[in-house]
Every structure is written in structure tokens, then in C-alpha cells.
Amino acid sequence: MNAFIGLGANLGDAQAGLRAAVQAMAQWPHSRVLAVSSLYASAPVDAQGPDYLNAVVKLDTKMAAGVLLTALQAIENEAGRTRPYRNAPRTLDLDLLLLGDLKLGDERLTLPHPRMWQRAFVLLPLRELAPERVSAAQLALVQGQRIRCVRQGSAWAGSGW
């Protein structure tokens, strides 16, 4: 099943942190990184701090939603992620955006990600990998958010997956 994972970081060497996260996902059993979007710089949304670097990964996986969320949180923890307050700056943020067409809502995980449609830093890279998942109308709703592409394609994330 295809999963789409949003990546973001705005502390430390953000690009290296995102690259390491993609490489960690590539090591998971029963999973394969299919594509990585371009790398974007974006202003924080509902937060303060330096600009974020963002991307989206398309992953083919057999992991169940909860198992995948736990694996993503383990990568965040290894990167030194802390959660001192809502929307705090971070070394790494990994969000499970979509898992096939699964719709889920519980105290731990909501799919599709409930705020993805409000964020240009999710929609622009997601549209690169799955244009059928992001409409022009959805993009129009986030057009006022400051975002720019800083590296084209998946070359920034390295190879080997």
C-alpha cells in the first residue's frame, strides 16, 4: 500500500536530518521508498522560529497504520525530537499524511492527516508525487503561504533506496 509521509525540520542541519529520515525509512522491512519530492523552504505555520525545510516521501509498505506511526516516531526520537509545546521548532517532524485510501480517526492517529489541506508545505510536494491527490482548488486555498523550492527532485535526499 502507498503511504505519503510529510517531512519537516527547522533546527540544526535540517537537510541532513531529512535525508537521514528518508534513509532510515528505506531500511524498514516490507517497505520501499518509491519517490521523494523536491525540497521546499517554508515559513512556520501557526508557529515561530526559523523557516522549515519540507518534503514528502512516497513509501510502498505493508505496515499497518499504527505500526507505521510508531516507526516514524522512533525516527523522530532518534533525531532528538522533543515536544515542549504545540508547534515548537523541531529537529525532525514526520507526519503520516495518507495510507492508501484508509480513513481513520482515533486518539492516536487521524487519516488523512487532518491539517494537510491547510498547508502549502504539504500540498506542493505531495502534488509532485501524486498529482491526482491534490486539486487546483486545494492549492488555491494555500497560495498565500510563503514557500519556495530549494532543490528539485529527489537528488537532495541521496540514493541507495
Each of the 161 residues of the chain gets a pLDDT tens digit; together they read 999 999 999 999 999 999 999 999 999 999 999 999 999 999 988 777 899 999 999 999 999 999 999 999 999 999 887 775 676 678 899 999 999 999 999 989 999 999 999 999 999 999 999 999 999 999 999 999 999 999 887 777 765 44
pLDDT of residue 147: 96
What 3-state class would DSSP assign to 143? Answer: coil
Q: CA quadruple 147, 152, 154, 159: dihedral positive or negative?
A: negative
Asked if 29 and 151 count as a contact pair (C-beta separation under 8 A), the reply is no
Q: How far is CA 68 from CA 26, 48, 62, 79, in A?
A: 13, 29, 9, 17
**CA nearest neighbour of 111 among 69, 62, 76, 139:** 69
Q: Under 8 Å CB-to-CB from 16, ≥6 apart: which residues?
A: none
Beta-bridged to residue 120, according to DSSP, are none
Q: Name the pTM for this structure.
A: 0.93
pLDDT of residue 161: 41
In the chain, the domains with their CATH numbers are 2-157 (3.30.70.560)
pLDDT of residue 159: 54
Just list the catalytic residues: 81, 90, 93, 95
